[in-house]
Amino acid sequence: EYPLLFWRFLSITLRAKSSFTIVPRSGGWRVEDELTVTIQLRDYNGNPKKSGGDFLISKLHNRELGAGVVGQVQDHLNGTFTAVFPLLWYGMANVEVILVQTSESITVLKRLTEEQFRGVTKKSICNVCLDPDKAPLCNFTDLNTGEQWFCYKPSGLDCNTRVSHVKGGFNQRISKEEETLFKKYEYFFFFFVSVGINMKVPIMAVENSSINILPKTKKIKPGPSGYYYGHQWRPIGSPTVQQFNSTSVITACFKGKQLYLFGDSTIRQYYQHITKTLPSKTFFFHTQLYNNVGPFLAVDHTNDIMVTYRCHGPPIRFGNVPVSQLRYVANELDGLTGGPNTVVLIGVWSHFSTFPLEVYYQRNSVALTIRRAVQRLQNRAPETKVIIRTANMKDLTLYESLTNSDWYSLQRDKVLRAVFKDSGVLLLDAWEMGLAHYLPHSLHPQPEIIKLMFDVVLSNACPKQGG
Ligand SMILES: *[C@@H]1O[C@H](CO)[C@@H](O)[C@H](O)[C@H]1NC(C)=O
Ligand SMILES: *[C@@H]1O[C@H](CO)[C@@H](O)[C@H](O)[C@H]1NC(C)=O
Ligand SMILES: *[C@@H]1O[C@H](CO)[C@@H](O)[C@H](O)[C@H]1NC(C)=O
Ligand SMILES: *[C@@H]1O[C@H](CO)[C@@H](O)[C@H](O)[C@H]1NC(C)=O
């Protein structure tokens, strides 16, 4: 068997043999020009790859200037890729191209979503869909939103006895051979062939990865939603983000307002962030028993500020959620009056990674039920500020990449952006804000990035205040 595996390894994408080249431009580069980079992926023998499908990301940055922007990567499906960057600052800029997952590992991920879904259907007690021929079902489908949730009926108990919801674990099975497709450290196959690092690794430049950007001469329309400069986020085509550095400016912004946070743990981070900055006399109601799950409530009576956090409904992979607290975001939105003093921040993405994409966006699935509820809220109270947080990239281990790969997140993120396109909500682009930043990718972005993201939220909530 070994020789067979051996030959297969020689054909997978190897980052050490892959490279990128800056496409030269006569007269150099000026602010508002575009920089194009071509990327050639190669296999172990150094032969150019003939097909695409690899997941690459790119950014252009300058650490000293606190500047960074994401490049638009295009897969030509023949082993070459192009990354295009708008040039937004004057001075040096360094290109970084990262191979997040090889096309070979993505093939494994695609198979796992299918298997995982079928596997959990067989093994777990509750899921988005279960086989009714195996055992009687309890149907917990939400009557209002239509979001599906089923459990096998426990024998001797009726369906009304459900108490709590516990993450059942994953069932991701891959072979030892397939494991080598998810390596963050140098790995030797068959003692002498290094398959190298193939997950979240930089691809090197053929010659030079830097360019010097000269002052601008003409205008072009750039692709990314924003960029960093001077350690601040500058959205492109939307109002300036102001800086809310102190308790007093944050309190002044939120005076008389209610902030509703709905979603997963990446939304809970904003609750943690704001409650640290609210005045000391704030009343906090953080349920101790279900500490990660919420619901959480913070009230500042003096300034008439209320902040709440609530996790989204099934499928949710939190440890232990009392069923009384399993609420669909769409239903919670229907319970809001809304108005100019209501700010709603929603983020639902990470817990859907192991389910087929349809579970995220089909007719009565979370993305669309939330979209419809947001529309109803906007009809009732058009001045309500609704902000949707996108997915973000994370630090990938083998376990993480099988259950929660950035590649899975990217697919869901594309759907989310399409669903909320032209819906009048603000997209908090956590994907680009994480990727363009110099700090490493993390499922829960570092406090520094959370602060920059919250500046975007506050700038939207209070266009006139802040620094
Ligand atoms: C790959 O496709 C691109 C875009 O169609 C083309 O410009 C390039 O020449 C192709 N490269 C190879 C090696 O076929
Ligand atoms: C589950 O309940 C919903 C809502 O009552 C209903 O529309 C759906 O058909 C039911 N599904 C099954 C499989 O019983
Ligand atoms: C390579 O980088 C240097 C700065 O480090 C720059 O001055 C030079 O123009 C670059 N060369 C090319 C070919 O882009
Ligand atoms: C906010 O803090 C940042 C980082 O410390 C600083 O660069 C900026 O000038 C501050 N802005 C205001 C308005 O205080």
Residue among 355, 327, 314, 352 nearest 121 (CA): 355
CATH code of the domain containing 28: 2.60.40.10
Tens-digit pLDDT profile for residues 345-393 = 999 999 998 888 888 988 788 999 999 999 999 999 999 999 999 999 9
Residues 199, 159 within the same domain:
no
Q: Is residue 81 part of a domain?
A: yes
Residues 95 and 134 in one domain: no
Answer whether residue 441 is part of any domain. yes
Query: Is 245 touching ligand 4 by the criterion CB < 6 Å?
Result: yes
**pLDDT tens-digit profile of 301-325?**
999 999 999 999 988 888 778 888 8
- Cα(447) to ligand 4 centroid in Å equals 15
Within a domain: residue 227? no
Is there a single domain that holds both residue 41 and residue 62?
A: yes
Do residues 344 and 372 share a domain? Answer: yes
Amino acid at 301: H
CATH number assigned to the domain comprising residue 291 = 3.40.50.1110
Task: Please report, for residues 64, 100, 165, 274, 282, the alpha-carbon distance to residue 92 in angstroms, rounded to integers and kept in the order given.
Answer: 10, 25, 52, 36, 46
Q: Say what the pLDDT of residue 213 is.
A: 82
Is 122 found in the same domain as 159?
A: yes
Q: Are residues 253 and 162 in the same domain?
A: no
Q: Is residue 435 part of a domain?
A: yes
Is 76 in the same domain as 111? no
Q: What is the mean pLDDT of residues 16-28?
A: 91
Place of tokens 């040039």: 87
Range of the domain at 279: 239-461
pTM reported for the whole predicted model: 0.79
Residues 130 and 74 in one domain: no
pLDDT per residue over 410-464, tens digit each?
Answer: 999 999 999 999 899 999 999 999 999 999 999 999 999 999 999 999 999 998 7
Total domain count, the chain: 3
Tell whether ligand 3 has an atom less than 6 A from the beta carbon of residue 302.
no
Q: Within this chain, do residues 297 and 314 fall inside the same structural domain, yes or no?
A: yes
If we measure between CA atoms, which residue out of 456, 449, 454, 455 comes closest to residue 435?
A: 449
Give the Å distance between the CA of 232 and the centre of ligand 4: 9
**Inside any domain, residue 234:** no
- For residue 231, being part of any structural domain is answered with no
Distance 149 CA to ligand 1 centre (A): 46
One domain, residues 27 and 160: no
46 and 169 together in one domain: no
Atom 12 of ligand 1, residue of closest alpha carbon: 78
Q: Is ligand 4 within 6 A of the CB of residue 230?
A: no
Asked whether residue 51 is assigned to any structural domain, the reply reads yes
Residue type, 239: P
The pLDDT of residue 308: 94
Q: What is the DSSP letter of 215?
A: P
Mean pLDDT across 194-221: 73
197 and 309 both lie in a single domain: no
Query: HEC states along 242-281?
Result: CCCCCHHHHHHHHCCCEEEEEECHHHHHHHHHHHHHCCCC
User: pLDDT over 70 for what percent of the chain?
Assistant: 87
Residue 223 within any structural domain of the chain: no
Q: What is the pLDDT of residues 31-84, one digit of tens each?
A: 888 999 999 999 988 999 999 999 999 999 999 999 999 999 999 999 999 999
Q: How many angstroms separate the first and last alpha carbons of the chain?
A: 66
